[in-house]
């Protein structure tokens, strides 16, 4: 067997090499893949559906992460956790890589075998991203507008007159 794969992504190369075998490829990220033995269901057994559910919380505080993303890479679908951090997906029996993410937190991937209902609570770690100074420049300085003030400008003279006018009612 000869095979030429120059310039091809590793995933496509592995998929071509493993075609016709009992090995599946699960891509975790650009640098990691999982090779698994393909499971065959016994004859006569239905390929029923099962529920994957759980809570997504902050690892340090235990607070619910409202709207956390729960994404199934294999099927390209997912959902957001509700106001309690709870999620629930009903899926066909199988193996899935579930990606959990939330803005300001480190993402987490979990390998789940769904051959029965599975409860998978996830605790995400807070993560801050520090960047260097950001400088935004305009290419066309002619279109630059003067800064607008949030409140109208009142000169000192007018301000004094208004103050005196307002205070006159208190003098009488």
| Per-residue pLDDT of the chain in tens (172 residues, 90 and over written 9) | 676 777 776 666 777 787 778 777 666 655 677 777 765 544 434 468 999 999 999 999 999 999 999 999 888 889 999 999 999 999 998 888 899 999 999 998 888 888 889 999 999 999 877 777 777 776 666 665 666 555 555 555 544 444 444 444 444 4
Question: What three-state secondary structure class fits 59?
Answer: coil
| Distance in angstroms (rounded) separating the CA atoms of residues 37 and 27 | 14
**CA 74 distance to own-chain centroid:** 16
Going along the chain from its start, the domains and CATH numbers come out as 1-39 (no CATH), 47-136 (2.60.40.1120)
Q: What is the pLDDT of residue 39?
A: 59
Q: What is the pLDDT of residue 142?
A: 60
- Residue labelled with tokens 């990220």: 29
| Distance in angstroms (rounded) separating the CA atoms of residues 172 and 85 | 63
| Distance in angstroms (rounded) separating the CA atoms of residues 110 and 92 | 17
Q: What is the pLDDT of residue 5?
A: 73
Q: What is the pLDDT of residue 168?
A: 46
Compute φ and ψ for 24, nearest 5 degrees: -105, 155
Q: What is the pTM of this model?
A: 0.53
Q: What is the pLDDT of residue 165?
A: 45
Let me know: does 34 contact 111? Beta carbons within 8 Å: yes
By C-alpha distance, which of 62, 53, 38 is closest to 119? 53
């Amino acid at each position: 067997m000869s095979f030429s794969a120059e310039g091809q992504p590793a995933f496509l190369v592995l998929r071509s090499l493993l075609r016709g075998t009992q090995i599946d490829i699960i891509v975790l990220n650009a640098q990691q893949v999982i090779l698994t033995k393909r499971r065959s269901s016994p004859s006569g057994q239905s390929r029923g559906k099962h529920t994957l559910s759980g809570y997504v919380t902050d690892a340090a505080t235990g607070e619910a992460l409202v709207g956390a993303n729960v994404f199934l890479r294999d099927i390209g679908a997912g959902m957001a956790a509700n106001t309690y951090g709870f999620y629930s997906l009903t899926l066909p029996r199988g193996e899935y890589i579930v990606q959990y993410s939330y803005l300001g937190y480190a993402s987490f991937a979990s390998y789940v075998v769904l051959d029965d209902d599975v409860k998978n609570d996830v605790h995400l770690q807070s993560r801050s991203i520090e960047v260097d100074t950001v400088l935004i420049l305009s290419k066309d300085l002619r279109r630059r507008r003067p800064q607008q003030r949030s409140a109208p400008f009142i000169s000192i003279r007018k301000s004094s007159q208004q103050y005196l006018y307002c205070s006159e009612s208190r003098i009488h």
